Amino acid sequence: MASKKQIFLPLVVLIGGIGVAGAFSAMKQPPEEKSEQIVHPLVEAEPIVVAPMQLNVDSYGLVKPKYTTELVAQVSGQVIEVSDAFVKGGFVKKGAILARIDPNDYEAALIESEANLARASSALEIEQAQAHVAKKEWQRIKDNANATIPSELYLRKPQLAEKLASFRAAQASVKRAKRNLERTYIKAPYDAIIASRELSLGSVVNPGSKFGELNAISVAEVRLPVADNELQYLVDGGINANVTLTAHVEGKPAQWQGKIVRSEGVIDQRSRMTYLVAQIQHPYSDQRTPLRFGAYLNATINGKILENAAAIPQHLVKDGRIAVLNSDETLSFKALNVVREYNGKTIIDSGVNDGAQLITSALEYPTEGMQLQLNDGTHSVADTQLALKEE
């Protein structure tokens, strides 16, 4: 049987432990109550710039000459002369002699025609004198007696008409001979660049034989395809609009100015595009950056001007609205009048004022009047999102 000491000793130790635990518990201070902190979503914003804006239309095309001429022989003979400038890529002035056909036969033909003209002229003068004598004789007879009306043959009118016809035929023959002699010279019809040459010195040609091809360098043209829905941004369908053409010359960017002069008036069956034609004056005038035929160009056609417009990143426009940050840092949605979506931008002409703060941060559940906090650089949007998740 247990003694009293064995029974009361554990009870004393237990009661003592409880007392010590209570004393420590009484000494511990309760935790301070923290004030509730409201964390608003942190956003970034940028001001919207409302200003006049031109709606340009982009296109592309190849440079071609406005005039291209095939040089062909109009008389036959042997080529006895070829100009040093008459080579592919050579530049020639208007009227420059490029080649010459042997003129001997045509010079002889001209001499013969001039001799025939001299004979015809002499015969006409003799016949005119004889007709004058016949008329005087008839006047004398008429004054001395009652004479009948003279015949045409008596007055030598048929003979005179025949000599006059022979004279005119001789004149035409001289003119033809001079023209054929002139055609032995192959001349440039305008300032041009040689596109090709088909014949060489010593070649024998006939009427229709091709000498080569010239491209006029006074005016260049570029056909610019434009989609039908893009024409709405151009004034008068783009006619008379200025166009900026860009390309690379010797690895460096170059720029030229042109003007839309006409529309081809039909829609291309394959591309479904309308073609506008731009002209550039004197494409080869700048020796450093010539606008060469065959070059590929990018084009910007000047379009309509909006007096009050803004360009907003397309991904920030949802259902025709954007989120803006008010002066009291609350969120508002603004309905926009969208004019055009272009190169990742939405062009608008009404709905917001100049300087309005466009919210560029992504918000999970944006609502009208939502309280926000503008990022001033001391916090990041990621920090605020993390704090909101911890709550």
CA 160, 162, 168, 174 torsion: positive or negative? negative
Whether residues 198 and 160 share a domain: the answer is: no
Is the predicted pLDDT of residue 381 greater than 50, yes or no?
A: no
- Mark whether 259 and 293 lie in a shared domain: yes
Task: Summarize the confidence of residues 3-15 as an average pLDDT.
Answer: 61
Does one domain contain both 374 and 246?
no
Q: Identify whether residues 349 and 361 lie together within a single domain.
A: yes
Q: How confident is the model at residue 37 (pLDDT cuts 50, 70, 90)?
A: low
Give the pLDDT of residue 5: 57
- How many whole angstroms separate alpha carbon 94 and alpha carbon 342? 46
The confidence score (pLDDT) of residue 384 equals: 45
**Residue 23 placed within a domain:** no
Q: Is the pLDDT of residue 176 over 60?
A: yes
How many domains does one find in the chain?
Answer: 4
Q: Are residues 221 and 300 in the same domain?
A: yes
Decide if pLDDT at 81 tops 80: yes
Same domain, 96 and 195: yes
Claim to verify: residue 198 and residue 273 sit in the same structural domain: no
Determine, yes or no, domain membership for 3: no
Residue 14 placed within a domain: no
Average pLDDT, the chain: 85
Residues 6+ apart with CB under 8 A from 122: none
Residue 22 has pLDDT above 70, yes or no: no
Q: What is the pLDDT of residues 220-274, one digit of tens each?
A: 999 999 998 899 999 999 999 999 999 988 888 999 999 999 999 888 888 889 9
Same domain, residue pair 278 and 158? no
Q: Are residues 78 and 201 in the same domain?
A: yes
Residues 95 and 205 in one domain: yes
How far, CA to CA in Å, does 193 sit from each of 102, 188, 288? 25, 10, 17
Query: What is the residue type of 7?
Result: I
Percent of the chain whose predicted confidence (pLDDT) is above 70:
80
Would the pLDDT of 293 be above 90?
yes
- What is the domain-level CATH number for residue 113? 1.10.287
Range of the domain at 94: 74-100+190-215
The CATH number linked to 372 is 2.40.420.20
pTM of the model: 0.72
> How crowded is residue 369: how many other Cβ atoms within 10 Å of its Cβ?
10
Q: How confident is the model at residue 382 (pLDDT cuts 50, 70, 90)?
A: very low
- The answer as to whether 163 is a domain residue is yes
Q: Which of 261, 284, 305 is the last residue in one of the domains?
A: 305
Domain match, 96 and 144 both: no
If phi > 0 it is left, if psi is from -120 to 50 it is alpha, else beta; for residue 77 that is left
More confident residue, 250 or 111: 111
Residue 386, in any domain of the structure: yes
Domain edge (last residue) among 131, 160, 182: 182
Per-residue pLDDT at 83: 93
223 Cβ contact partners less than 8 Å away, ≥ 6 residues apart: 61, 62, 64, 264, 275, 276, 277
